[in-house]
Amino acid sequence: MTSRIGLAFSGAGRPLLVACLVAGDPDERTSLDLMKEAENCGADIIELVMPHSDPVADGPVMQKAMQRALSAGTTPDTLFSQIRNFRSVSKTPLLVLTYANIVVQRGIATFYREAAEAGADGIAIADVPLEESDPFCVAARNEGIDPVLFISQTTSRERLERIVAGAGGFLYLVAVLGVTGAREQIDPRVIGHIRAVKAASALPVVPGFGIGTAGQVRELVRAGADGVIVGSAIVREIERTLEDPFAMREAVGGKVREMASALR
């Protein structure tokens, strides 16, 4: 059975926009509204982050967003309730991104079951490389969840093949050597890297990390990307408009629209 994420890529006939938000940032209700706003403004897939106190793969913008969400009391219960509420009004594919300890403390099987029941379609875990991925991928397959795995410029050819064999949904191509956060420029090595990974994989290849402008999105699509993941550039709009919920919605929607227009 092809997953909702798989169908989105095969059915769209164009590269997809994965728009990333942190669950509970700045609170559950606003975060849910922002998911709907992102969807209305052209997000093809929503990536919802379950915040962690120590997110080592994330830069300052996402760190602050996670702190806001945790201060607002966000837990996996919040995450699943937000997903359920979104799913009750939307068929847009939804990817959960989090860190290993959040899943392990819930119980790996429990976390994947709850995520599936709430309506999530994929789960990516920032600090679980191939070597540690078995129990997570098994739980994902049991629940019909796509196990989204990461590829980096430092990933060897041999590892790439094993990652492709284990992954589901799409390959999350880390487009920078570094942490999340919009950059001025696309790393020129990413262009060749996308081509190489596409040649090795039947799964869609979607770069994320460091992407924040329409120009960058077009550049990545020209290189063959099947979509782009935009996180910090969107979340930064939340940080910028914390005092004004109406402006926040506008700002997040505007950023998503800008990214989406580059894909159409």
Partner 1 sequence: MTDPSRFGVYGGRFVPETLMAALEELERGFRTIVPGKKFQEEMKYYLHEYAGRRTPLTFCRNVSRDFGCRVYLKREDLLHSGAHKLNNALGQALLAKFMGKHRLIAETGAGQHGVATAIAGAVLGMQVDVFMGEEDIRRQKLNVSRMKMLGARVVPVSSGSRTLKDAINEALRDWVTNVATTHYLIGSVVGPHPFPTMVRDFQTVIGNETRDQVMEKEGRLPDAIVACVGGGSNAIGIFTPFLGEDTRLFGAEAGGEGPEGRHGATLCRGRPGILHGTYTYLIQDAFGQILESHSISAGLDYPGVGPEHSYLRDSGRVSYHPVTDREALDAFLYLSRSEGIIPALESAHAVSLAEKVATGLQKDDVLVINLSGRGDKDVSQVSSMVGDLL
Least gap, CB of 151 to partner 1 (angstroms): 7
Query: Interface with partner 1 includes 72 (CB under 8 A)?
Result: no
**C-beta of residue 171 within 8 angstroms of C-beta of residue 206:** yes
C-alpha 102/C-alpha 117 separation (Å) is 18
Window 121-140: residues binding partner 1 (CB under 8 A)? 126-132
- Residue number, 171 or 262, with CB nearest to partner 1: 171
Chain mean position to CA 215 = 20
Question: Any catalytic annotation for residue 58?
Answer: yes
Selected binder of partner 1 within 4, 36, 68, 106 (CB under 8 A): 106
Q: Which of 5, 62, 151, 167 binds partner 1 (CB under 8 A)?
A: 151
Position 158, amino acid: E
Whether 161 is catalytic: no
Q: Which is nearer to partner 1, 88 or 156 (CB)?
A: 156
| Tokens coding 253 | 């929607």
Contact 83, 113 (CB under 8 A): no
User: Is the separation of the CB atoms in 82 and 47 below 8 Å?
Assistant: no
Query: Helix 188-200 crosses helix 157-166 at what angle (to 10 degrees)?
Result: 60
- The residue count of the chain comes to 264
Residue 228 Cβ, how far from partner 1 at the closest point, in Å? Answer: 18
Footprint on this chain of partner 1 (rule: CB under 8 A): 52-57, 59-60, 63, 67, 70, 75-76, 99-106, 126-132, 149-156, 159, 163, 174, 176-179
Active-site residue list:
47, 58
